[in-house]
């Protein structure tokens, strides 16, 4: 076990009591905790509706189904994301059309979107990466002009805002995720939010095997899936949601420490930047090592030897074997994504890190660069 894990959930006595209370109740699925979690989550995000599901991936799948995306359609999205955002498009037998990213925010670059729109394009699946929202004004303008739907993958950016508006409130629907490394967790789990009752009804049906609104066992009106969230997860989520603002404040404090101690080394380590008009909730803290191309992977190994867990974040989706074989992508297709992906490194970020821990992590990273011939003079 590393001394400094890459991430870990922040679980207290309240969460344990809440889960045990559900176990004692005997109602383990489709119960009151799920409904309460949905209601309070929608209020937190600022939408009318929220539908709890088993994962963020499941949420993306049914959000695309709810948008009417299907075989032969094209969906514009980012190649710099966790693979689930692209996979969900493939699930509905549509084609992911990638657009390169902004080199500062790592989000989809709006300047390149229109060139990728065809007669088959039906939607833009924006990915708010690492806790920072996309620049939504130009994206919304393009969507209105070209009659495209907006679906938000906000799985990594709960609580973040773009020009005062919350991530998850721009599109016809949005998806959040609660895996243990996220800003809040339900263990596994996700949420689809929207302001349309029709989307809410569809998602609630599809997550539960396609049952009709009356929820009768023998009345299944569409193809559905087992994407339900269980009551233990919902109970955990309720407690975490109540603590979320405080947990985000602590993550922001850790990010400020990283920024402080990385500042003298900006010529060799590029710290993340919060774009003007954005607030950031720091799902992960990703830096770029600006030296030789193979330096990052050696850094992962070197820091692990010192008890510091790190990870390349993220591999470029279009270079995964399946996507190369299925769609013919190759290196060079999205040069900004590839350059960022080749150099990016996620540093430990979890509640409980102290300032001296961050200082040690940065000092160890700088020492690695020095031993590998990097000029690191301030």
Q: Show which residues are catalytic.
A: 182
- What secondary structure does DSSP assign to 122-160, as a single string? EEEEEE-GGG----HHHHHHHHHHHT-EEEEE-TT-TT-
Q: Which two tokens stand for residue 37?
A: 């979690």
Token look-up 């300047």 returns 111
- What secondary structure does DSSP assign to 38-84, as a single string? HHHHHHHHT-SEEEEES-HHHHHHHHHHHTT--TT-EEEE-SSS-TH
Q: What 3-state class would DSSP assign to 292?
A: coil
Confirm if 192 and 51 have CB atoms less than 8 A apart: yes
Q: 272-286: b or e for each residue (b if 16 or more CB lie within 10 Å)? A: bebbeebbbbbbbbb
Q: What 3-state class would DSSP assign to 249?
A: helix
**300 membership: H or E segment, kind and range:** helix 295-305
Confirm if 173 and 189 have CB atoms less than 8 A apart: no
Separation between Cα atoms, residue 346 and residue 339, nearest integer Å: 15
Of the candidates 188, 194, 155, the residue with the CA atom closest to the CA atom of residue 283: 155
316-322, long-range: CB within 8 Å, 24+ apart, which pairs? 316/79, 316/80, 316/341, 317/79, 317/80, 317/81, 317/83, 317/85, 317/86, 317/96, 317/98, 318/79, 318/98, 320/83
Q: Which two tokens stand for residue 47?
A: 């939408």
Give every CB contact of residue 3 below 8 A, 6+ residues apart in sequence: 306, 307, 308
């Amino acid at each position: 076990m590393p001394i400094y894990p890459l991430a870990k959930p922040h679980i207290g006595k309240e969460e344990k009591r809440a889960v045990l209370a559900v176990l004692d109740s005997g109602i383990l699925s489709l119960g009151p905790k799920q409904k309460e979690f949905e209601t309070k989550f929608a209020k937190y995000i600022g939408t009318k509706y929220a539908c709890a599901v088993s994962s963020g991936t499941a949420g993306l799948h049914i959000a695309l189904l709810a948008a009417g995306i299907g075989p032969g359609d094209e969906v514009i999205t980012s190649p710099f994301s966790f693979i689930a955002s692209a996979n969900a498009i493939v699930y509905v037998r549509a084609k992911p059309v990638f657009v390169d990213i902004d080199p500062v925010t790592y989000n989809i670059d709006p300047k390149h979107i229109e060139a990728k729109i065809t007669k088959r394009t039906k939607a833009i699946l924006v990915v708010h990466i690492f806790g920072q929202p996309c620049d939504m004004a130009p994206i919304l303008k393009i969507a209105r002009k070209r009659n495209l739907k907006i679906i938000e993958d906000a799985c990594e950016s709960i609580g973040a805002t773009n020009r005062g508006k919350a991530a998850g409130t721009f599109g016809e629907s949005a998806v959040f995720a609660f895996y243990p490394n996220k800003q809040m967790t339900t263990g596994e789990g996700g949420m689809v939010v929207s302001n349309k009752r029709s989307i809410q009804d569809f998602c609630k049906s599809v997550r539960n095997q396609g049952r009709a609104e009356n929820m009768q066992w023998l009345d299944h009106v569409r193809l559905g899936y087992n994407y339900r969230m269980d009551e233990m997860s919902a109970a955990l989520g309720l407690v975490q949601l109540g603590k979320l603002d405080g947990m985000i404040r602590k993550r922001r404090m850790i990010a400020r420490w990283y920024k402080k101690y990385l500042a003298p080394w900006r010529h060799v380590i590029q710290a993340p930047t919060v774009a003007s008009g954005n607030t950031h909730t720091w799902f992960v803290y990703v830096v770029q090592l600006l030296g030789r191309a193979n330096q990052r992977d050696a850094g992962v190994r070197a820091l692990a030897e010192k008890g510091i867990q790190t990870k390349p974040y993220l591999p470029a989706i279009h270079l995964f074997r399946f996507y190369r074989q299925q769609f013919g992508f190759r290196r060079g297709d999205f040069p900004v994504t590839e350059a960022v992906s080749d150099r990016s490194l996620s540093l430990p970020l979890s509640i409980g890190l102290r300032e001296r821990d961050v200082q040690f992590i940065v000092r160890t990273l700088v020492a690695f660069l020095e031993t590998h011939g990097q000029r690191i003079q301030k």
